[in-house]
Structure 1
Amino acid sequence: MHSHPRGHLVYAASGVLSVHTERGTSIVPANRVAWTPAGFMHYHRAHGHTDMRIVFLPASLARLVPGHPAVFLVSGLAREILLTLTGPRNYDRVPGEHDRAARTRLRRVLVDELHEAREQPLQLPEPQDDRLQAIARMLYEQPADSTPLAELGKTIGASARTLSRLFHNELGMTFYEWRTQLRIYHALVLLADGHDTTHVAHACGWANPSGFIAAFTNIIGTTPGRYRTSHLVPQCGGDERHGEVDR
Structure 2
Amino acid sequence: MPEIRHMPEAPTGRRPLAPGAGIDAHRHDSHQIVYACRGVLSVTTSAGTWVAPANRAIWVPAGTVHEHRAHGDTDLRLVGLTGNPLALDRPAVLAVGPLLRELIIAYTDDTAIEPASADAPAGPATGDAPAPPVRAVPADGGERGRLLAVLLDQLRRAPEQPFHLPAPEDPRLAAVCAILHRDPADDRTLARLAAEASTSERTLARLCRRELGMSFPQWRTQLRLHHALVLLADGTPVTAVAHRCGWASASAFIDVFRRAFGYTPGRAFI
Q: Same fold (TM over 0.5)?
A: yes
Distance of 1:41 and 1:158 partners within structure 2: 32
- Residue equivalent to 1:239: none
- Residue equivalent to 2:99: 77
- Residue equivalent to 2:70: 46
Distance of 2:146 and 2:68 partners within structure 1: 27
- Residue equivalent to 2:210: 169
Query: Is the partner of 1:3 in helix, strand or coil?
Result: strand
Match of 1:18 among 34, 42, 46: 42
Distance of 1:50 and 1:136 partners within structure 2: 27
Distance of 2:196 and 2:208 partners within structure 1: 17
Distance of 1:39 and 1:99 partners within structure 2: 23
- The residue identity in structure 2 corresponding to 1:129 is D
Distance of 1:101 and 1:166 partners within structure 2: 52
- Does the aligned pair in 2 maintain the 1:8–1:55 contact within 8 Å? yes
Distance of 1:99 and 1:116 partners within structure 2: 23
Distance of 1:211 and 1:160 partners within structure 2: 27
Report the alpha carbon displacement of residue 201 of structure 1 after superposing the two structures with TM: 0.1
Task: Give the structure-2-normalised TM-score.
Answer: 0.78
* Offset from partner CA, 1:42-93 (integer Å, 9 cap, x none): 000001111000000113xx153411100001022211111111112678xx
Count how many residue pairs are aligned between Structure 1 and Structure 2.
221
Indicate yes or no: 2:43 matched with 1:2. no
Indicate yes or no: 2:55 matched with 1:31. yes
Report the alpha carbon displacement of residue 110 of structure 1 after superposing the two structures with TM: 2.1
Gaps in structure 2 of 5+ consecutive residues: 1-24, 114-138
- Does the aligned pair in 2 maintain the 1:3–1:39 contact within 8 Å? yes
- Does the aligned pair in 2 maintain the 1:75–1:113 contact within 8 Å? no
Distance of 2:226 and 2:86 partners within structure 1: 28
Query: Is the partner of 1:228 in helix, strand or coil?
Result: coil
Alignment of 1:132-171 (within 5 A): 132-171=173-212
Query: Is the partner of 1:50 in helix, strand or coil?
Result: strand
Which structure shows the higher helix fraction?
1
- Does the aligned pair in 1 maintain the 2:85–2:152 contact within 8 Å? no
| Alignment RMSD (CA, Å) | 1.6
Gaps in structure 1 of 5+ consecutive residues: 92-97, 230-247
Report the alpha carbon displacement of residue 161 of structure 1 after superposing the two structures with TM: 1.2
- Does the aligned pair in 1 maintain the 2:85–2:156 contact within 8 Å? no
- Residue equivalent to 1:237: none
Which structure shows the higher strand fraction?
2
State the identity as a percent.
50
Query: Is the partner of 2:27 in helix, strand or coil?
Result: coil
* Offset from partner CA, 1:135-189 (integer Å, 9 cap, x none): 1111111111111000000011211111111111221111011011011011011
Distance of 2:193 and 2:159 partners within structure 1: 34
Query: Is the partner of 2:269 in helix, strand or coil?
Result: helix
- Does the aligned pair in 2 maintain the 1:65–1:111 contact within 8 Å? no
Report the alpha carbon displacement of residue 2 of structure 1 after superposing the two structures with TM: 0.7
